[in-house]
Amino acid sequence: MAVREYRDLIAWQKAYALAIKCQKLSRVLPSTEQFGLSAQLRGAAVSIPANIAEGNGRRYRGDYIRHLRIAHGSLMELETHLQFARDLDYIPLEDAQSLLELSAEVGRILGGLLKSLEAISENGVRKRKG
């Protein structure tokens, strides 16, 4: 299937699913974390698919790559928030592990997409290796 819009991208689909799960998870965090860890977790999670979508909508490959890198940075931030929530016993270990595994999958897919885009020269021709 050809990619026609950002919703067709597996990276966006997986990142969106991760963001939805994190939004739901944030509801079970202690109320004392409403403006702390919970807000940070939600913001980082939503930033990932949002930056994939925004980058895909840009007309220049360099902008697309930049937004994918931002999405990757937000993914690392999200993983850190999930680790805090796990280590502070705010969420069950199984939930944390499941989300961290999905996060790792998103990271692999994003990495592949970045590598693919970076391998294309400015004139749209794939660069030679070596």
Confidence (pLDDT) at 129: 57
Report residue 18 as tokens.
């991760």
C-alpha closest to that of 90 among 29, 37, 40:
29
Q: Per-domain residue ranges for the chain? A: 6-118
For the chain, which residues score pLDDT lower than 70? Answer: 1-3, 121-130
Confidence (pLDDT) at 86: 96
What is 6-118's CATH number, 1.10.10.10, 3.10.50.40, 3.40.50.1000, 1.20.1440.60? 1.20.1440.60
Confidence (pLDDT) at 35: 87
Q: Is 79 helix (H, G, I), strand (E, B) or coil?
A: helix
pTM of the model: 0.89
Do 78 and 103 meet the contact criterion of CB atoms below 8 Å apart? Answer: yes
Report how far residue 46's alpha carbon sits from residue 96's, in angstroms, rounded to the nearest whole number: 17
Confidence (pLDDT) at 124: 62
